[in-house]
């Protein structure tokens, strides 16, 4: 059963306040991670954001929509769309290194780890919520990386017959085995020089695998 208000007649209304939307998203991210999806009501999110429940529903139709928006917002904070738009003047290895660095930081952040654990717990009895999470976060990052690699292929910088598969290879290598150990609490997130070396190794391996010659 969804957390939803009764349908009301639509009308032009007043323009929505972007500051309130931002506050709602921030509150949602905090509460979903702290209390889980089922444990975070729209009333609690409204109170945390300092707005009315009606205001929350004026920006987001239901809790599922708000959850998906919160996931997308977190991903965009760490990997904004411009990160995937390659400047022809910037070498491809630098672009991939920066994307890899930011993605590595995102997936190993405490918020991301908590969200992944939450989705594993939800997946068995709420697969629709897991689908929303994947489409709002991981799928968007995969699509953007795919487009980046497809452009590199068209520009002759790489030879990538299947950009989506190559994007999956790249992102999976950036995650590495350490990410699974982190999810199950067997290690700490790599930082500093260790993280930089890992990303650099992956980028060089990837470029050798897909070089045009």
How confident is the prediction along the chain (213 residues), in pLDDT tens digits per residue? 446 554 444 444 556 788 999 999 999 989 988 888 888 999 999 999 999 999 999 999 999 899 888 888 877 777 777 667 767 788 999 999 999 999 999 899 988 898 888 888 877 888 888 888 888 888 989 999 999 999 999 999 999 999 999 999 999 999 999 999 999 999 998 999 999 999 999 999 999 999 997
| Total count of residues recorded for the chain | 213
Asked whether residue 131 falls in the same domain as residue 45, the answer is no
What is the 8-class DSSP label of residue 4? B
Residues 6+ away with beta carbon under 8 Å from 42: 3, 53, 56, 57, 63, 66
Asked whether residue 93 falls in the same domain as residue 27, the answer is no
Decide if 146 is inside a domain: yes
Among 61, 89, 115, where does a domain finish? 61
Asked whether residue 37 falls in the same domain as residue 111, the answer is no
Closest CA to 3 of 62, 50, 57: 62
């Amino acid at each position: 059963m969804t957390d939803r208000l009764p349908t009301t007649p639509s009308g032009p209304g007043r323009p929505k306040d972007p500051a309130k939307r931002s506050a709602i998203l921030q509150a949602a991210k905090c509460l979903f991670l702290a209390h889980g999806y089922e444990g975070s009501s729209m009333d609690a999110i409204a109170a945390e954001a300092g707005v009315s429940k009606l205001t929350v529903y004026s920006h987001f139709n239901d809790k599922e929509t708000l959850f998906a928006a919160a996931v997308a917002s977190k991903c965009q904070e760490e990997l904004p769309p411009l990160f995937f738009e390659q400047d022809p003047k910037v070498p491809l290895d630098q672009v991939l290194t920066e994307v890899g660095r930011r993605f590595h930081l995102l997936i190993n952040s405490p918020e991301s780890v908590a969200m992944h654990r939450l989705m594993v717990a939800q997946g068995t009895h709420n697969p629709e919520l897991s689908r929303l999470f994947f489409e709002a976060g991981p799928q968007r990052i995969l699509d953007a990386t795919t487009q980046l690699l497809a452009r590199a292929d068209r520009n002759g910088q790489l030879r990538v017959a299947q950009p989506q598969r190559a994007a999956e290879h790249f992102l999976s290598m950036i995650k590495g085995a350490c990410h699974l150990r982190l999810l199950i609490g067997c290690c700490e997130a790599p930082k500093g020089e260790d993280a930089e070396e890992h990303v650099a190794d992956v980028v060089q391996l990837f470029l050798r695998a897909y070089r045009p010659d």
